[in-house]
A and B are shown apart, each in its own frame.
Chain A
């Protein structure tokens, strides 16, 4: 089973700042099958990025994903108030089980 480790646990930034979230896998994620989800309190998660770098439908272009192999990054170029939330990475390569990282909380400074 692939273990995903996200860092930092909490990121405190201000609107307009640039956010960089990291997700490291314990072994290579095949075909870059790595997704990022955003979750706000009392809401279901929302797909943000898949295939490591492809924005999901309706996701603003200030969100971008990068990386390959075992190291992946979600970048939000200019934070908007609605971007402050929990973010989870997930690998869906090879066959299940698929795993999530433990999450990064992006909070307003």
Chain B
């Protein structure tokens, strides 16, 4: 069974940093691209970042580029999102998600973590 178990998050002040983690199991980790998607309170979904299976390429939404870093440890089946220079508008539930069928982009998201709340106080 595919599982994505998230940890991290919580309350941080504006300008601070947080790291989110996503522990994966039930599939061949390095053969799938992974994403972070966020959802501000009462709002819609916002795509944040994607990393390909090898970890060799990463992509970001303009809203987080230069502040957030996605990474993965294929030896530990772990996905991370390092968030720095946090802003109040980064307050959201953050989901990790797995690509449907492969290691690259051009894939929908077929499995999702349970979500973790990040609150940035100004």
Contacts and interface: CB of A to CB of B under 8 A. Distances in A.
Given A95-B59, A97-B62, A103-B44, A45 B112 contact: yes
Contacts of A45: 37, 45, 95, 109, 112
Contact of A96 (B100, B105, B110): B105
Contacts, number: 69
Interface residues of B, number: 22
A54 B40 CA distance: 29
B121 interface: no
A39 B95 CA distance: 13
Contact of B108 (A31, A47, A102): A47
B108 A50 contact: yes
Given A50-B108, A92-B106, A98 B50 contact: yes
Q: When A and B form their complex, which 5 residue pairs have the shortest distance between CB atoms, in order from nearest? A: A96-B59, A44-B112, A35-B108, A50-B108, A100-B45
